[in-house]
Amino acid sequence: MPDNSVDPSGNTEAFRAFTRTTSDSEAPSKLPFVIGGVVAVVVLLALVAWLTL
């Protein structure tokens, strides 16, 4: 029974082809998390400043 799946670590050429095809999908941007963090810090600082008055 032939094994139709190719092991990408079998040789260097197959591994390089495997890494090229899987790197096409980039990680999602972290910019919304950074903006949300900055907004949260500003809101917390404003709350603390309001409470100290």
d(CA 41, CA 38): 5
Pick 22 or 3 by higher pLDDT: 3
d(CA 21, CA 6): 14
Q: Give residue 8's pLDDT band: very low, low, confident or very high (50, 70, 90).
A: low
Predicted pLDDT at 16: 77
Predicted pLDDT at 1: 54
CB 31 within 8 A of CB 37: no
Q: What is the pLDDT of residues 12-43, one digit of tens each?
A: 777 777 777 654 456 678 899 999 999 999 99
Pick 46 or 53 by higher pLDDT: 46
Q: Which run of H or E residues covers position 1?
A: none
